Structure 1
Amino acid sequence: MTNLILRDATEADLSAILAIYNHAVAETTAIWNEILVDLDNRQAWFEARQARGFPILVAEIDGRIAGYASYGDWRAFDGFRQSVEHSVYVEKDFYGRGLGKALMAALIERATLGGIHVMVAAIEAGNQGSIALHTRLGFRLVGTHHEVGKKFGRWLDLTMMELKLGD
């Protein structure tokens, strides 16, 4: 990839992150929200992740933010503090270039170094590309919840995967 830089996100990246997020809301089933968010929303999200010590990584190509990845609490109870659920999104102009894999590999490394025990993936069951990527990265299929969400007028299934990082 031409001049790919993986780095921690800064507040200056939030408008690009916002655009990628809102595209996923409006055009895909990767995010099961239906309402576009504003910059204040992404600012609050950014600050909440920073306050918890969770990484937000961006993929930058030739000065342009091409994708981002992060993780947060899987469940908000003390007993789950070493398990996280992650998200990875690539800007539509950069699909199919391996950015998702690069971001995920970097995020897995950060999680391992951060003492995370398990990473959880919740993937729309029809997103075979994401399921295949997670499988290649060592995630195992846990199961599928059927018709637990609805978007674009149709019921959606949610495939659950997990990656154990350490003892």
Structure 2
Amino acid sequence: MPAAYTLRAAAPRDADALAAIYNDAVLNGTAIWNETTTDAEGRRAWMEARHARGFPILVAVDAADRVAGYASYGDWRPFEGFRHTVEHSVYVAAEARGAGLGRVLLTALIEEARTAGRHVMVAAIEAGNVASIRLHEKLGFVERGRMPQVGAKFGRWLDLVFLQLVLDAADTPPDARETPASLHG
């Protein structure tokens, strides 16, 4: 981990910082295909919804406890048959990019998913974001599909790349009675 940062669970007091990082991605990039920004209250509501479903939100903070990035995962699809699969997001503040925080956050999130008994983690990345695709591949994700022109932003079509990481070696899914309650949709 970059020496200047530590990881911890996100707290309601982080909502302003999470909104700022999210809004930067909305306004200036294609990591998020939304075109509408949010505010701290919107991020707090998002955090509450994630926590209510048992999903983690990790933040990377500097020595002054300022948030430099965050990561989370949630349902990949909201149907019971997909309860063992999650899709994740990792965002780093513009001023902290290039310090290795994306890798640190994603590595920690993968471990969170394994500990929670998840089976697969999915990444959906804009095809032009080669750095993110390469990071995922270095961490064991495998490209599983490309969908041309499924999104639009900044007046152009966007292509989506799906990558997958199998988190465990289970040959069969756990019996529903043995599955942690947080995995039931």
TM-score normalised by L of structure 2:
0.89
- Asked whether the 8 Å contact 1:69–1:104 carries over to 2, the reply is yes
Identify the residue that residue 47 of structure 1 maps to in structure 2.
48
Does 2:28 align with 1:27?
Answer: yes
Kindly state the Cα deviation for residue 164 of structure 1 after the two structures are TM-superposed. 0.2
Bigger Rg, which one: 2
- Asked whether the 8 Å contact 1:2–1:62 carries over to 2, the reply is no
The runs of 5 or more residues in structure 2 that have no matched partner are 171-185
- Residues 99-135 of structure 1 show CA distances to partners (whole Å, capped at 9, x for unaligned) of 0000000000000000000000000000000000000
Kindly state the Cα deviation for residue 43 of structure 1 after the two structures are TM-superposed. 1.2
Identify the residue that residue 63 of structure 2 maps to in structure 1.
62
Identify the residue that residue 140 of structure 1 maps to in structure 2.
142
Partner SS for 2:135: helix
TM-score normalised by L of structure 1:
0.98
How far apart, CA to CA, are the structure 2 residues paired with 1:28 and 1:62? Answer: 28
Which one-letter code corresponds to 2:136 in the other structure?
Answer: H
Identify the residue that residue 98 of structure 1 maps to in structure 2.
100
Kindly state the Cα deviation for residue 41 of structure 1 after the two structures are TM-superposed. 1.4
How far apart, CA to CA, are the structure 1 residues paired with 2:104 and 2:167? Answer: 17
Q: Matched residues, percent identical?
A: 58
Kindly state the Cα deviation for residue 2 of structure 1 after the two structures are TM-superposed. 3.2
Which one-letter code corresponds to 1:126 in the other structure?
Answer: G
- Asked whether the 8 Å contact 1:2–1:61 carries over to 2, the reply is no
**Which one of the candidate residues 120, 134, 151 is aligned to 2:153?**
151
How far apart, CA to CA, are the structure 2 residues paired with 1:103 and 1:43? Answer: 20
Partner SS for 1:129: helix
How far apart, CA to CA, are the structure 2 residues paired with 1:121 and 1:94? Answer: 22
Identify the residue that residue 74 of structure 1 maps to in structure 2.
76
Identify the residue that residue 130 of structure 2 maps to in structure 1.
128
Kindly state the Cα deviation for residue 3 of structure 1 after the two structures are TM-superposed. 3.0
Does 2:36 align with 1:38?
Answer: no
How far apart, CA to CA, are the structure 1 residues paired with 2:103 and 2:77? Answer: 25
Kindly state the Cα deviation for residue 38 of structure 1 after the two structures are TM-superposed. 1.7
Partner SS for 1:22: helix
- Residues 57-96 of structure 1 show CA distances to partners (whole Å, capped at 9, x for unaligned) of 0001122211000000000000101100000000000111
How far apart, CA to CA, are the structure 2 residues paired with 1:109 and 1:73? Answer: 17
Range with greater deviation from structure 2 (36-45 or 140-149): 36-45
Q: Which of the pair is proportionally richer in strand?
A: 1
Partner SS for 2:95: helix
Range with greater deviation from structure 2 (1-10 or 86-95): 1-10
The runs of 5 or more residues in structure 1 that have no matched partner are none
Identify the residue that residue 113 of structure 1 maps to in structure 2.
115
Partner SS for 1:123: strand
Range with greater deviation from structure 2 (61-70 or 157-166): 61-70
